[in-house]
Amino acid sequence: MNFERQRNRMVDRLLERESLDEATERALRAVPRHEFVPASKHESAYRDTPLPIGEGQTISAPHMVAIMVDLLELSPGDRVLEIGTGCGYHAAVTAEVVGPENVYSVEYHGNLAERARKTLAETGYGAVSIRAGDGREGWPEHAPYDRAYLTCAASDFPRTVVEQVRPGGILLGPLGDRSQVLVKARKRDDGTLDRERHGRVRFVPLK
């Protein structure tokens, strides 16, 4: 099976529907999504759909990862906090843009964190930092962050995570309980958030 060809076809199809930044496009073409899903799901790895990865969690559909990476307005060297490592794919795509050493990810499930750490190392993203713990607490040791995003739904951005983002930084995530909306927020100098809504989404809840 030619995974590289499938990956490029997936990105080509996304570009027919979405206007993506060049850095996002390059990242999607570079990261081997099939390595981040269970072997039984390899044939489905480059379909634009979520896939189960264990512990009741999923890997997000490629179009959603692309949209979120674009909305974060990432630049090389940005320090990024991810809440919800999952299988590590989203972190790898982010790392392609900012550099693996600038990505810090928190995962609630210890076994998923360990598996993601292993996969990231095997695929060339071993400098991504992963911690098993409560994502609501963020990762204060490496703050302040230029960007922070949630890969799981919360009723609002966790207060502690907001505090760990620098003024002028961006937060992004699916907010809401039964009905979720992808919200992008820029942090003002006074600590409040200037919010934008970017459509309805459906994510697993933040643990």
Query: 101: pLDDT confidence band, cut at 50, 70 and 90?
Result: very high
Pick the more confident residue, 135 or 55: 135
All residues at 6 or more sequence positions from 126 whose CB lies less than 8 Å from its CB, including other chains:
100, 120
Query: 50: pLDDT confidence band, cut at 50, 70 and 90?
Result: very high
Tens of pLDDT, residues 55-97: 788 899 999 999 999 999 999 999 999 999 999 999 999 999 9
Tens of pLDDT, residues 173-195: 999 987 899 999 999 999 999 99
Is residue 201 a contact partner of residue 183, using CB atoms and an 8 Å limit?
no
Question: What are phi and psi for residue 138, nearest 5 degrees?
Answer: 65, -145
- HSE at residue 164, side-chain half, CA atoms within 13 A, is 24
Distance CA 103, CA 76 (A): 11
Sequential DSSP letters for 89-124: HHHHHHHHHH-GGGEEEEESSHHHHHHHHHHHHHTT
Instruction: Specify whether domain 3-201 bears CATH 3.40.50.300.
Output: no
pLDDT at 179: 86
Is residue 60 flagged as an active site residue? yes
What is the average pLDDT across 116-130? 98
> Quick one: how many helices (H) and strands (E) in the chain?
6, 9
| Residue-averaged pLDDT of the chain | 95
pLDDT at 177: 82
- HSE at residue 94, side-chain half, CA atoms within 13 A, is 33
pLDDT at 206: 79
pLDDT at 23: 96
- Model-level pTM? 0.95
- In the DSSP assignment, the letter for residue 127 is T
Tens of pLDDT, residues 7-30: 999 999 999 998 999 999 999 999
Query: 126: pLDDT confidence band, cut at 50, 70 and 90?
Result: very high
**Identified catalytic residue from 19, 40, 44, 60:** 60
